[in-house]
Amino acid sequence: MRVLGVDPGLTRCGVGVVEGVAGRPLTMLGVGVVRTPVDADLGHRLVAVEQGIEAWLDEHRPEFVAVERVFSQHNVRTVMGTAQASAVAMLCAARRGIPVALHTPSEVKAAVTGSGRADKAQVGAMVTRLLRLGAPPRPADAADALALAICHIWRAPAQNRLQQAVARHTVRSTKGRTA
C-alpha cells in the first residue's frame, strides 16, 4: 500500500509518502513541505498548495491519501487556513479517484507512539525509528505527514473490515423489509 500523508497548512503543508503493509517494515519514498508566501493573497496560496500536492501525486502515484482531520483550536485564523489546505488536498485526490482518509491528531499520535498525547518530538523520533531514517524529518510538518501515512497503513485493514461488516449487516437487515 502506498500512502501520501498530508499535514495541511497554508504556510507549510507537510507531505510524505510511505509504502508498506501492516506488520512489515515500512519504506519512506519521499518527504517534504509545500510552502506558500505569507504575504500572498489567499487564492494564490491555495493554488500553490494545489500545485504542490498535484506534483507529489504525479511523482509518487499513491493508492490512498491520508489527511489530518481539522480540529477546533482557539485561533480561528489557523483553523481556517488548515481547513482550506485540507480541502485542497482532498480535492486533488478526489479528482484522480484516490480514496481519502481523515485521521485525527490524537489517532495519529496513538498509532505511531502509543500515546494520543505525544508531543511533536516523540512523533518525530518514532517516525525516524519506524522508517529507519538517519534523523527526524524537518520541519515537524514533514514528520507529521509521514506519521499520517504510517497511521493509515496500520489502521486501514481494520477499518476496511469494520466497513465491510457494517455493509453486510445493512444488506441483511434491509432484505427482511418489504417495500
Is 119 annotated to bind a ligand? Reply is no
Give the bridge partners for 4, in sequence order: 17, 65
Annotated active-site residue 39? The verdict is no
Annotated active-site residue 41? The verdict is no
Task: Quote the CA–CA distance of 127 and 65 in Å, as a whole number.
Answer: 18
Nearest to 145 by CA among 52, 43, 44: 52
Q: Please give the domain boundaries of the chain with CATH numbers for all domains.
A: 2-175 (3.30.420.10)
Is 107 annotated to bind a ligand? Reply is no
Task: Quote the CA–CA distance of 175 and 153 in Å, as a whole number.
Answer: 34
pLDDT tens series, the chain, 179 aa = 999 999 999 999 999 999 999 989 999 999 999 999 999 999 999 999 999 999 999 999 999 999 999 876 677 878 898 999 999 999 999 999 999 999 999 999 999 999 999 999 999 999 999 999 999 999 999 999 999 999 999 988 766 566 666 667 777 766 766 55
